[in-house]
């Protein structure tokens, strides 16, 4: 089996990730922060270690500003719905995933906000000039992804972040695709809130992710998405107002977080950290695109040759579902077809409503696997 669906979730996971999940479930088992017994303390220590690592990973000083969620979608819903109030205006891009677009649409339909969708260039990449033009007196937030889940296009985050900071506009960055590939320093990059998932480029288990708030940001401005048990202030029926408990109601996915912690260790253990990841993915992407262009009849890609391992493509005359089905059933190659939960992005790049086939490469993929995929695509495309 060849797995090229790493942009949906990475597979395989590093062995230290799966070992950590099994260790937690077989040797620890307890609920972190909910009791004083030794197993609960150990569980709490594992979660705290992960919190510290995530903080460092995004350039934060306070580990308390790391809020664990079940995925990037929950984090984005918390940030978007928690920050915005009636009359606010939001700027976003045409390249967004539905995890950004749908919460915005909900608030718009409820009469709470208005929002502007910026088209960007022909790859959907925004410019500072375009953002300046879109800022209105009521603009409170800019929410964009760091890296498109459809094409892999990367937004100029630092330039846009600096502009927004100077104009008093808050920035929410969806790092679902970029975390573990493109480094981010929330301070230097002028980002107020990062929403990430743990199960893609960070190589953790599904069901992990988080909302990270920059040091010094007034988190009182954000309402929690949910209230409930936190293990703190248990004599009170009101939600604690301090971090991270304000946003972390209910038992955490501690086994998953144990794995996520080791996923970050895995990335840090690579010879040059994220640079190693980038180099590997860039090499694979370039190799695949150049080889497919040469050998696969009707191959058209919507991604750049230079990129970080997210490649959308179509084969003229063939439906994307037919291509992915044949890749899976005849060749054992796993890929993703369709709109990738990002209909506006596909409109922007001209592939709506059919969508594309997407290959998402991980650090475990090889050139041999790409050779096999190109051979398979050549055969699939051959008769058309």
Partner 1 sequence: MSGESVILFHSSNYAMWAADALKKAKIGHKLVPVPRELSSDCGYCVRFDTLSAGQVSALMEKENIEFDRIEQI
- Contacts with partner 1 by CB under 8 A: the residue count is 27
The minimum distance between CB 64 and partner 1, in angstroms, equals: 6
C-alpha 329 chain-centroid distance: 28
| φ, ψ of residue 360 in degrees (nearest 5) | -120, 120
The minimum distance between CB 34 and partner 1, in angstroms, equals: 5
Segment (H or E) for 89: strand 88-93
| φ, ψ of residue 211 in degrees (nearest 5) | -115, 125
The minimum distance between CB 216 and partner 1, in angstroms, equals: 11
Q: Cα–Cα distance between 326 and 320 in angstroms, integer?
A: 10
Q: Cα–Cα distance between 345 and 340 in angstroms, integer?
A: 9
The minimum distance between CB 20 and partner 1, in angstroms, equals: 18
Binding mask 241-280 for partner 1 (x = CB under 8 A): -x-xx-----------------------------------
Segment contacting partner 1 by CB under 8 A, of 22-30, 79-87, 234-242, 282-290? 234-242
Q: Binders of partner 1 among 46-75, rule CB under 8 A?
A: 47-48, 51-52, 62-64
Segment contacting partner 1 by CB under 8 A, of 69-77, 140-148, 217-225, 238-246? 238-246
* Binding flag, residue 187, partner 1 (CB under 8 A): no
* Binding flag, residue 239, partner 1 (CB under 8 A): no
Segment contacting partner 1 by CB under 8 A, of 44-52, 205-213, 265-273, 306-314? 44-52
> Cβ atoms within 10 A of the Cβ of 106, count?
14
The minimum distance between CB 198 and partner 1, in angstroms, equals: 18
* Closer residue to partner 1 (CB): 56 or 341: 56
Q: Which of 3, 21, 32, 153 binds partner 1 (CB under 8 A)?
A: 32
* Binding flag, residue 45, partner 1 (CB under 8 A): yes
44 CB-side CA count, 13 A: 12
Q: Cα–Cα distance between 85 and 16 in angstroms, integer?
A: 43
Measure Cα distances from 278 to 116, 215, 272, 273, 284 in Å.
32, 27, 10, 9, 10
Q: Which residues does 42 contact at the CB level (< 8 Å), separation at least 6?
A: 28, 30
Give the DSSP per-residue string, 324-347: HHHHHHHH-EE-EEE-TT-HHHHH
* Closer residue to partner 1 (CB): 64 or 341: 64
Q: Which of 77, 78, 178, 230 binds partner 1 (CB under 8 A)?
A: 230
* Binding flag, residue 40, partner 1 (CB under 8 A): yes
* Binding flag, residue 233, partner 1 (CB under 8 A): yes
Give me the residue label for tokens 């104009």.
167
Segment (H or E) for 2: strand 2-3
**Which stretches of the chain bind partner 1, using CB under 8 A?**
32-37, 40-41, 44-45, 47-48, 51-52, 62-64, 230-235, 240, 242, 244-245
């Amino acid at each position: 089996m060849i797995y090229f669906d790493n942009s949906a979730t990475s597979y395989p996971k590093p062995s230290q990730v799966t070992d950590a999940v099994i260790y937690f479930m077989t040797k620890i088992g307890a609920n972190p922060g909910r009791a004083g017994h030794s197993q609960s303390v150990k569980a709490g220590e594992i979660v705290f270690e992960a919190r510290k690592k995530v903080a460092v990973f995004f350039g934060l000083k306070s580990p308390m500003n790391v809020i664990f969620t079940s995925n990037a979608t929950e984090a984005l819903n918390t940030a978007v719905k928690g920050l915005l109030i009636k009359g606010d205006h939001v700027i976003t891009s045409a390249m967004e995933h539905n995890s950004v677009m749908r919460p915005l649409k909900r608030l718009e339909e409820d009469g709470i906000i208005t929002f502007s969708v910026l088209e960007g260039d022909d790859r959907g990449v925004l410019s500072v000039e375009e953002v300046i033009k879109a800022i209105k007196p009521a603009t409170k937030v800019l929410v964009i992804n760091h890296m498109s889940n459809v094409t892999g296009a990367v937004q100029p985050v630092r330039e846009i972040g600096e502009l927004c900071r100077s104009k008093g506009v808050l920035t929410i960055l969806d790092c679902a695709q970029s975390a573990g590939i493109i480094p981010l320093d929330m301070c230097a990059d002028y980002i107020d809130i990062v929403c990430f998932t743990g199960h893609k480029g960070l190589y953790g288990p599904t069901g992990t992710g988080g909302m990270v708030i920059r040091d010094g940001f007034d988190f009182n401005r954000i309402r929690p998405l949910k209230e409930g048990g936190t293990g703190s202030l248990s004599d009170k029926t009101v939600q604690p107002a301090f971090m991270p408990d304000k946003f972390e109601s209910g038992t955490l996915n501690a086994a998953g977080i144990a794995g996520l912690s080791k996923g970050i260790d895995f990335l840090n253990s690579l010879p040059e950290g994220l640079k190693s990841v980038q180099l590997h993915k860039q090499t694979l992407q370039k190799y695949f695109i150049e080889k497919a262009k040469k050998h696969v009849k009707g191959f058209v890609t919507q991604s750049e040759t230079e990129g970080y391992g997210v490649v959308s493509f179509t084969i003229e005359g063939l439906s994307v579902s037919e291509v992915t089905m044949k890749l899976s059933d005849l060749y054992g190659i796993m890929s993703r077809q369709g709109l990738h939960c990002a209909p506006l992005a596909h409109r922007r790049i001209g592939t709506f409503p059919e969508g594309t086939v997407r290959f998402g490469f991980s650090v475990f993929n090889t050139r041999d696997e790409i050779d096999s995929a190109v051979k398979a695509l050549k055969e699939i495309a051959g008769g058309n």
